[in-house]
Amino acid sequence: MGENKSELGLLVYIIPFLAIVPALHSQGWDSSESAILIVAVPFVTFPVILVAGQLYNGHETWKDKLKEGGILALGALGTSLMAAIWLVYDYFDALPDFGDQNSIAHWLEWVSFDLLQSDYTLTSSKNILGVGVWVDSLTLMLLFVATFLCFLICWFSLGYMNTDPINDDRNHRFYGEFVLFALGMFGMVLADNFLWLFIFWEIMGLCSYLLIGFYYWKESAAYAAKKAFLTTRVGDVFLMVGLFMLYDIYGSLEFSVIFHDPSLHGAVDSTQLFWALLMMFIGAVGKSAQFPLHVWLPDAMEGPTPVSALIHAATMVNAGLYLVARMVPFVDVGHHGVPGLEDLGLIIAYVGGITAFMAAAIAFVQNDIKKVLAYSTMSQLAYIFTGLGAALWFYNHDEHHAAVVVFGASMFHLFNHAMAKGMLFMASGSVIHEVHHAHDHLHHGDGHHDFDPQDMRNMGGLASKMPVTATAMMVGSMSIIGIPLIGGFWSKEGIIAETWLAALDHEPLMIGPAILVLLTAGMTGFYMSRMWFMTFAGEPKSDVVNHVHEETPWIKQPLIILTAISAFGGMAFALLGATDYLSSSYGGSGHLRLHESTLLDSIIYKLEYAFLPKNQNLRIVGWTTIFLSFIVGPIFAARVHGGQLAKGESATPVVSWLVSLSGKFGSQDVTSLSESDLAEALENRLYFDELYEGVLAKTVIPFAAFAAWFDRAVIDGVIKQIESNSVSGSLQVRTLTTGSARDYILMTAVGMLSIIVLVWGISS
């Protein structure tokens, strides 16, 4: 513990950073002005870390005191967090009205595009690209999630990255890219027009690529990085096309211009807008790893675990959701939206439903702890997409109340999921880290090749070795599963119920996503429980487990904080009416407060609302969900993977109760099932990779070969021809420079005579 104390003493170094915001406050800045700090401080810090790393690598102060830049990164992210909290504090209860007032700060009118008209005259237009901040409940929620998790995960990284000798002298790259990524996320959330949103979106894509390939010498990591980059690129191209189309319609990409009246007084053609939004949605599909562009996310787990936690679970993958959420004004017919876009909602809901189900199914057979979480992320994001799809559908039909509920529930689920999944990844990182160390300790570093510290088949019985991690992971899993009263329960319920509502009362086609998300709820219960039981319950499956200790500094604190938030945050925010609040930009009530006058009344109201809704259909759906996710999934998982701890081992009270409970369901042999064709197909991820590779080999590669030939032969050929002609011209011209003064004077005379002839010609 002594060492632990001195490690935390390093936090002294981030004090200068943390002093920035209070200092500006005392200078009379207000929070909207200082919002630029949220992006600016990381923007200044990341090159500093990269350059300083190159200069001071191996230097003692740099390594031990500044953690190879980690402390600087933590300081910068701390500043962002403080500025963000300030902004949230100032605005969360006084959100400006929907409309152009949401653009709270506008610093710079940067570029105005002059348009070349068909008659070759230039017209200045209103198409100004400014730098500004857009604030509504979505911004505030996502900004808080991003800054808070970036800070905590950076904190976690200090323990995770800096204690692994393989990262020595390379951590500055990690922290530099981490900070660059963070600024991309913050900037995207704050942006007040789609162009900036896109720019920051791409910054995140770049950092994702760099960080997945952090261990670039591993072939699999390099491959995964390329795959992630290229797959998301497919989506990004569509997004770009979508933005072009949007610009074509509105002549601007500023939120304040576009959202003011998206139908332009009824002048917007809904088909054109539909295609623009669909293109943008494909971009979101790529970023958020949804079917059919989902293939990159599981491979992205090749990156260091904090990266998986941050980018591929808690923040970047939410960018797609954020983009889709921003589409609401276009379809909200109660608010100048364009009618006739309900197919968009349906498509989004279907993509969500299919992804949710498929990812959950694949998660059944994964043995790598991070891969389970990766598929779980895909599945949970798909829930939110389904919810947003339903919301868009409701908005487009002016079913205002239902729309607000499901939109708010989706955003609330985003919040719950980000908190829980960020923490789950960190917890899995903790497990991997300690197992890896224990293995190194046991085998003195040799025998690395045949031991996989991420494989859950090497674990089991860790509940007693890692009490904090086990508890954290239990709470996180419960939140994801949606165990009643915990975290994600409050939001997931809303999504499933409202999707069913849409299907039953309005649109029969919605039944597909509705059934899929309902089934997925049960499957979530199974695969999350399976992961937890395999890791923490039962007897140790390898001798390494007995040497695991939970003692690396910097790792526990974020876990504890996030455990508390996951356990109680969902309930607390649900009581305060988070779903209404989060949809406040689009018709919700806009204030975070108790529904009834006293806490007890509010709790009773909420419980009644959740468990005994007045609508008969909702009640059935709700209880089916609870039954599937709470009872069926976990019990089945316990029967397969549960088990008592080894004799003499004990864990924290709730955890040990859960473990012993899991042992009571007996065990079921699933060997025959796990050897079936279906299991094999799932294990091969339903052959999507093979399919894509086959298609690419048939189409893209021949075209690429042709393009390469064209480039070599035609384009290079022309350039080479120009070059060789220029060179021979050059040599000829240079022969005129003989070096003899007589020739020079001759040339001067020739020039003089030419001038005389020319002037004579003009004058006569």
Partner 1 sequence: MTSLGQLDLDSETAFTLLPELVMLAGVLAIIVIPNLGDATFRLPLTRIRIPILVGGSRLESTNDPRLPNRIATLTFSVAFAASLLMIDSSSEEVGGLLRSDAFSRLFSAIFIGALLLVSAATTHRIPAKRNAAVPKDDDSENTASRKISVLMDNRRQVDFHILLIMVGLGMSLMAMSTNLFMLVVCIELASLSTYVLVAFHKEEEVGGEAGAKYFIVGSAASAVGIYGMSLLYLWAGDLALDSLATKWAEMQGLDPFAAFGIGLMMVAFGFKVSAAPFHLAAPDAYSGASSPISGLLATASKAMGFVALFRVLVMITAPDYGEESSWFLMLAIIAIITMTWGNLAALTSENPKRMLAYSSVAHAGYMLAAISVIGSGLAGEEGTKMILIAITFHLAVLVLFKLGAFLVLALLETGGRGHRMEDLHGLGRKEPLIAGSMFLFMLSLAGVPPLSGFLSKLLMVNGIVSSSADTGSSSATDVYSWMDTVDPVFWLAAAIVINSALSLFYYLRLSLVMFFEEPEKSPKIKSASSLRMAIMACSILTVLCGLGPVSEWLVSLVSTSIDSLMG
Q: What residues line the site for partner 1 (CB under 8 A)?
A: 119-121, 723, 726-727, 729-731, 733-734, 736-737, 739, 741, 743-745, 747-748, 750-752, 754-756, 758-760, 762-763
Q: Of 122 and 708, which has the nearer Cβ to partner 1?
A: 122
Quick one: CA torsion of 203, 204, 210, 211, rounded to 10 degrees?
150
Distance (Å, whole) CA 369 – CA 227:
21
3-state secondary structure of 460: coil
* Closest approach of partner 1 to the CB of residue 762, in Å: 4
* Closest approach of partner 1 to the CB of residue 758, in Å: 4
Between the CA of residue 134 and those of 148, 196, 544, what are the distances in Å? 19, 11, 51
Helices marked H in 364-488:
369-396, 400-443, 467-481
3-state secondary structure of 105: strand
3-state secondary structure of 759: helix
Q: Of 61 and 732, which has the nearer Cβ to partner 1?
A: 732
Q: Of 546 and 724, which has the nearer Cβ to partner 1?
A: 724
* Closest approach of partner 1 to the CB of residue 122, in Å: 10
Distance (Å, whole) CA 320 – CA 353:
16
Q: Of 271 and 726, which has the nearer Cβ to partner 1?
A: 726
Q: Of 19 and 758, which has the nearer Cβ to partner 1?
A: 758
Q: Of 12 and 51, which has the nearer Cβ to partner 1?
A: 51
b/e sequence 592-609, b meaning 16+ C-beta within 10 Å: beebeeeeeebbeebeeb
Q: Which residue has the tokens 């998982």?
A: 637
Distance (Å, whole) CA 271 – CA 274:
5
Helices marked H in 251-399:
255-258, 270-287, 296-299, 305-309, 318-325, 328-331, 342-363, 369-396
- The answer to whether 358 and 471 are in contact (CB under 8 A) is no
* Closest approach of partner 1 to the CB of residue 764, in Å: 8
Q: Of 572 and 753, which has the nearer Cβ to partner 1?
A: 753
* Closest approach of partner 1 to the CB of residue 117, in Å: 11
Q: Of 1 and 741, which has the nearer Cβ to partner 1?
A: 741
* Closest approach of partner 1 to the CB of residue 730, in Å: 4
* Closest approach of partner 1 to the CB of residue 515, in Å: 57
Count helices and strands in the chain by DSSP H and E runs: 35, 2
* Closest approach of partner 1 to the CB of residue 754, in Å: 8
318, two tokens: 């939410």
Q: Of 560 and 747, which has the nearer Cβ to partner 1?
A: 747
Distance (Å, whole) CA 187 – CA 22:
22
Give the amino acid at 720. Answer: K
b/e sequence 436-471, b meaning 16+ C-beta within 10 Å: bbbbbeeeeeeeeeebbbbbbebbbbbbbbbbbbbb
* Closest approach of partner 1 to the CB of residue 78, in Å: 31
* Closest approach of partner 1 to the CB of residue 56, in Å: 18
* Closest approach of partner 1 to the CB of residue 100, in Å: 30
339, two tokens: 């009618």
**CB contact set of 402 (below 8 Å; sequence gap of 6+):** 394, 498, 501, 502
Give just the sign of the alpha carbon dihedral 669, 674, 675, 676: positive
Give the amino acid at 496. Answer: I
Distance (Å, whole) CA 106 – CA 686:
48
398 torsion bin: left (phi>0), alpha (psi -120 to 50), beta (else): left
* Closest approach of partner 1 to the CB of residue 489, in Å: 55
Q: Of 230 and 727, which has the nearer Cβ to partner 1?
A: 727
Q: Of 53 and 487, which has the nearer Cβ to partner 1?
A: 53
* Closest approach of partner 1 to the CB of residue 728, in Å: 9
Q: Of 604 and 759, which has the nearer Cβ to partner 1?
A: 759
Q: Of 26 and 730, which has the nearer Cβ to partner 1?
A: 730
Query: Among 264, 146, 138, which Cα is nearest to 588's?
Result: 138
Whether a cis peptide bond, with omega within 30° of 0, leads into 508 is no
* Closest approach of partner 1 to the CB of residue 727, in Å: 6
* Closest approach of partner 1 to the CB of residue 736, in Å: 7
* Closest approach of partner 1 to the CB of residue 248, in Å: 22
3-state secondary structure of 131: strand
* Closest approach of partner 1 to the CB of residue 553, in Å: 39
Q: Of 697 and 758, which has the nearer Cβ to partner 1?
A: 758
Q: Which residue has the tokens 């959202």?
A: 259
Q: Of 699 and 721, which has the nearer Cβ to partner 1?
A: 721
Beta strands 122-134 and 103-116, pairing class: antiparallel
Distance (Å, whole) CA 507 – CA 142:
31
Q: Of 702 and 729, which has the nearer Cβ to partner 1?
A: 729
b/e sequence 392-418, b meaning 16+ C-beta within 10 Å: bbbbbbebbebbbbbbbbbbbbbbbbb
Q: Of 51 and 752, which has the nearer Cβ to partner 1?
A: 752
3-state secondary structure of 504: helix
- The answer to whether 263 and 336 are in contact (CB under 8 A) is yes
* Closest approach of partner 1 to the CB of residue 738, in Å: 8
460 torsion bin: left (phi>0), alpha (psi -120 to 50), beta (else): left
State the burial class of residue 293 (Cβ atoms within 10 Å of its Cβ: 0-12, 13-18, 19+). buried
Q: Of 269 and 723, which has the nearer Cβ to partner 1?
A: 723
655, two tokens: 């955890």
